Chain A
Amino acid sequence: MKILVVEDEAKTSRFLRTGLREAGFVVDVAGDGEEAIHMAEELAFDLIVLDVMLPKADGWQVLTLLRREGMELPILLLTARDAVDDRVKGFELGADDYLVKPFAFSELLARIRSLLRRSPLRQQEVLRVADLEVDQARHRAMRSGRRVDLTAKEFILLTLLAKRAGEVLSRTMIAEAVWDMNFDSDTNVVDVNVRRLRGKLDDPFPLKLIKTVRGVGYVLNGEA
């Protein structure tokens, strides 16, 4: 998967490039609007991460031009301004998603992945991670063949983590996906719920599946 990062701020573009490369993407960087348009026309990208504030041609212009040329690849806007009007404008001009600085890299990664996924997640009946089995149809979770008793919300939370196994999920993303709370709330709420889930899922077993990633969020994987 090939991503074009359009960002004029040196440090930002450096960490974006490094981070995205390490996440398995091929990354090219453009430092201004004109270069971005040129590169997007010449090379085939799967996605563009586009900063709004750019020299020569700003993000809006780049977005407008690329859409007018009929390019349909997903474009994710980055901006320092958290104005609703900007958000609306972005979507009207054809942006697929929108992220306000400062943002968590994990959040960006998750959004890029969901934009590239195109087709919805494969509805696997049973999700398996190490000795964990999540049976979505029967609403049942098992570890090492033993049934784990979960509440409805805990089950949804576990399903989310298992579906995205290996992917770090921010607290905001978890709150949004499980409880439909789309605001940066007191993140303590998510911590409490994850702790309860851990109590049932991980505490009785030597292998802990849910890991805390400091300053970012949670990830479920089978690594020791």
Chain B
Amino acid sequence: MAKRKWSLAFRLTAWYTVASLLLLVAATGTLYWALVTNLERDSDLFLADKVQVAGTLLRERPNDWDSLREEIELESAARRYDQFYTRLVDGHGKTLLETPGMNLVVPVEKFDGLSERVGLIQSVQGSPYKATAVTARVGGAQNVYWKIQTAVSLAQQQEAITRYRHWGWAILSASSILSPLVGHQIAKRGIRPVRHVAEAARRIGSSTLSERIQAEGYPIELADLALTFNAMLDRLEDSFDRLTRFSADLAHELRTPVNNIRGEIEVALARPRSTHEYREVLGSSLEEVERLSELIGSLLFLARTESPGTFIKPEAVRVDEMLEAIRDYYEGPADQAGVRLAASAPPGLQASLDRSLMQRAIGNLLSNALAHTPGGGRVDLSACHSSEGLEIWVRDSGCGIPAESIPRLFDRFYRVDQSRSQRPGGFGLGLSIVRGIMTLHGGNVTVVSELEKGTQVILMIPTSAATGPRKKS
């Protein structure tokens, strides 16, 4: 649609222009109408007034010719603008009194057909007059009726109207040129922050992800947009950081075994050696390769838990028995470390779970717990049904985790203690895998820890998810 391509500034300008022109037309039109009606009413009232005065004089003081003359001849003759004329005509049509020169402008015949009403007539010279002819009873005498003829020039009035009309047109045409220009300027100013946001967005690339849009001084709506945008950048930067760190960590984890294999083989091949020595090198290389395979296996597993459309195969699992079996499996290492390992769950507790995935999740948590609990401590494995679903707790009395590390615990390759965890098999992937498994079950994992007191990890599997396979959302 072509409409879509119009710029916001253009659209705003168009609307602004149309609106302001409509308003102006309405305003000038209304004022024009008010002016015309007012002027009309003024002249009507003026005529009525004059007729009234003359009529009253005739009725009250019919013989006071001085007053009549003054009213009719002098007063109207004294006016320079809005010329008006009055004439007194008797019952036979004979002019008794009239404003000097009236005959030359509006003679008697002009008033024919104007009895008792106001009308428009043209003077001999062709200019417009508003006129009326009213019959008035002459006081004192019986049945004597004279006529009062009055006419007022409309020239001034029409001139004013014409002048007004000219001005109206001038204002309208000026504003039809100005308002798009002004409107465009306003629109441009209005959307300038939007352009700034766009420019900032364009500027921000993978290497400048830390840049933010300065929202200060923006109108509320745009400040909101800028803040939303910044929040998105925060998340993006965070993911990007994690990804970068992940790549770096992965490279590091790969480098160590590969370097070992390479070095050992190179050294071994440098000169002839005994079979025993070769066996040593091959055995050592195999150990490193084993480590690499394990890493690859874990990464593949994680990728699988994260890809949408991965299904799990839940089966009815006796949770108490499963925990007991896991306790049994880890009893050896726990014994060796001098840690008491206990499992408890309500007998007969059942849930729909992917058994081997859950074993793996709980196994990872137990490995962590055992690794961080000093001799004499204890690790408790328990399960219960809460209102939300099945909860599995792994509690240890170990060294705890610093609060600042907790948010990053589930990051791949993250290790709380970088130096300590160089034990074989520890890649810092265990908790990521636990979380992946919980996600596949539609559940979640929570860590609560206190330094020197211990750590609790709670696995929560909602009951709804336990009823069938769940897709990762």
Q: Given contacts A187-B425, A196-B332, A215-B290, are A179 and B325 in contact (CB under 8 A)?
A: yes
- Contacts of A183 on B, CB cut-off 8 Å? 356-357, 359-360, 363
Contacts of B284 in A (CB 8 A): 214-215
Tell me if B329 and A175 are in contact (CB < 8 A): yes
Would you call B310 and A186 a contact (CB within 8 A)? no
* CA A180 to CA B364, docked complex, whole Å: 16
Contact B304 A182 (CB under 8 A): no
Known A-B contacts A84-B311, A181-B363, A184-B297; the reply to A189 vs B330 at CB < 8 A is yes
**A193 cross-chain contacts in B, Cβ below 8 A:** 332
User: Which single member of A84, A103, A104, A180 contacts B325 (CB below 8 Å)?
Assistant: A180
State whether B328 touches A179 (Cβ < 8 A). yes
Selected from A82, A192, A214, the residue in CB contact (under 8 A) with B301 is A82
Taking CB atoms, residues of chain B closer than 8 Å to A185 are: 329, 359-360, 363-364, 367
Chain A: number of interface residues, binned into ranges:
20 to 34
- A216 interface residue, CB < 8 Å from B? yes
Distance in Å: Cβ of A141 to nearest Cβ of chain B:
18
A153 is an interface residue with CB less than 8 A from chain B: yes
Min distance, Cβ B171 to any Cβ of chain A, angstroms: 77
Q: Which residue of chain A has its CB nearest to the CB of B310?
A: A84
Q: Tell me the complex Cα distance, A65–B296, Å.
A: 32
Chain B residues with CB under 8 Å of A188's CB are 333, 367, 424-425
Question: In chain A between 152 and 192, which residues have their CB closer than 8 angstroms to a CB of chain B?
Answer: 153, 175, 179-189, 192
Q: In this assembly, does B326 line the interface, its C-beta being within 8 Å of a C-beta of chain A?
A: yes
Q: Select which of B285, B290, B336 is within 8 A of A192 by beta carbon.
A: B336
Most chain B CB atoms below 10 A, which of A85, A186, A193: A186
Q: Is B346 an interface residue (CB 8 A)?
A: no
Q: Which of A103, A104, A185 has the most CB of B within 10 A?
A: A185
Q: Tell me the complex Cα distance, A193–B332, Å.
A: 6
Chain B residues near A84: list those with CB within 8 A: 304, 310-311, 313
Q: Which of B15-67 contact A (CB under 8 A)?
A: none
Contact yes or no, B286 A216, CB < 8 A: yes
Is A83 part of the binding interface, using a Cβ–Cβ cutoff of 8 Å?
yes
B301 in contact with A182 (CB, 8 Å): no
The complex places the Cα of A62 from the Cα of B285 at a distance, in Å, of 35
A216, B290: Cα distance in complex, Å: 8
Q: CB < 8 Å: which of B285, B300, B326 contacts A82?
A: B300
B293: Cβ under 8 A from any A Cβ = yes
Q: Which residues of B contact A216 (CB under 8 A)?
A: 286
A28 to B117, CA, bound (A): 129
B266 CB contacts on chain A under 8 angstroms: none
**B93 on the interface (CB 8 Å rule)?**
no
How far apart are the CA atoms of A179 and B330 in the complex, in Å? 10
Whether the pair A182, B332 counts as a contact (CB closer than 8 A) is no
The answer to the question of B82 belonging to the interface, with a C-beta cut-off of 8 Å to chain A, is no
Tell whether A182 pairs with B356 under 8 Å between CB atoms, given A104-B290, A189-B330, A189-B332.
yes
Q: How many Å lie between the Cα of A189 and that of B301 in the bound state? A: 21
Kindly state whether residue B227 has any CB partner on chain A within 8 Å.
no
Q: A224 to B357: give the CA distance in the assembly, Å.
A: 41
A interface: dominant SS? loop
Contact with B along A90-111 (1 / 0, CB 8 A): 0000000000101110000000
Contacts A82-B301, A82-B304, A196-B332: A215 and B360 contacting too (C-beta < 8 A)?
A: no
Nearest-Cβ distance from residue B326 to partner chain A, whole angstroms? 7
Minimum Cβ distance to chain B for residue A99 (Å): 12
Tell me if B199 counts as interface (CB < 8 A to partner A): no
- Most A CB contacts (10 A, CB to CB) among B286, B287, B289 go to B286
Chain B residue contacts of A100, Cβ below 8 A: 297, 300
CA distance A143 to B201 in the complex (A): 77
Interface centre among A83, A188, A192 (most CB of B within 10 A): A188
A215 and B330 within 8 A (CB): no
In contact, A181 and B332 (Cβ under 8 angstroms): no
A83 touching B304 by the CB < 8 A rule? Answer: yes
Q: Which residues of A contact B336 (CB under 8 A)?
A: 192
Residue B283, interface by CB 8 Å? yes
**CA separation between A184 and B429, bound complex, in Å?**
13
A196 contacts which chain B residues (CB < 8 A)?
332
Task: Name A217's closest neighbour in chain B (CB-CB).
Answer: B290
Instruction: Please tell me if B238 contacts chain A, counting CB pairs below 8 Å.
Output: no
State in angstroms the CA–CA spacing of A85 and B311 once bound together: 9
Given A84-B311, A183-B359, A185-B367, are A192 and B294 neighbors across the interface (CB < 8 Å)? no
Q: Mark B357-371, 1 if CB is under 8 A from A, else 0.
A: 101100110010000
Give the CA-CA distance A182 to B313 in the complex, in Å.
14
Q: Which residues of A contact B297 (CB under 8 A)?
A: 82, 100, 102, 184
The minimal Cβ–Cβ distance linking B420 to chain A, given in whole angstroms, is 15
Are A182 and B287 in contact, CB atoms less than 8 angstroms apart? Answer: no
Interface string of B293-337 (1 = CB under 8 A from A): 110111011001000001101000000000001101110110010
In angstroms, how far is the closest chain B Cβ from the Cβ of A156?
11
Contact B328 A153 (CB under 8 A): yes
CA distance A120 to B301 in the complex (A): 32
**How many Å lie between the Cα of A175 and that of B360 in the bound state?**
12
Give the residue of B286, B304, B356 whose beta carbon is less than 8 angstroms from that of A215: B286
**CA gap between A168 and B357 in the complex, in Å:** 26
Q: Which residues of A contact B360 (CB under 8 A)?
A: 183-185
- Asked if residues A192 and B296 are in contact (CB atoms below 8 Å), the reply is no
Cβ–Cβ contact B300 & A189, under 8 A: no
Contact of B332 among A83, A103, A180, A192 (CB under 8 A): A192
Interface residues of B in 247-293 (CB under 8 A from A): 283-287, 289-290, 292-293
Contact in complex: A186, B296 (CB < 8 Å): no
Residue numbers in A under 8 Å from B287 (CB-CB): 214-215
Known: A193-B332, A214-B287. 8 other contacts (CB 8 A): A82-B297, A83-B304, A100-B300, A185-B329, A186-B364, A189-B330, A215-B290, A216-B286
Q: Give the 3 A-B residue pairs with the shortest CB-CB distance, closest first.
A: A215-B286, A214-B283, A183-B360
Q: Which residues of A contact B (CB under 8 A)?
A: 82-85, 100, 102-104, 153, 175, 179-189, 192-193, 196, 214-216
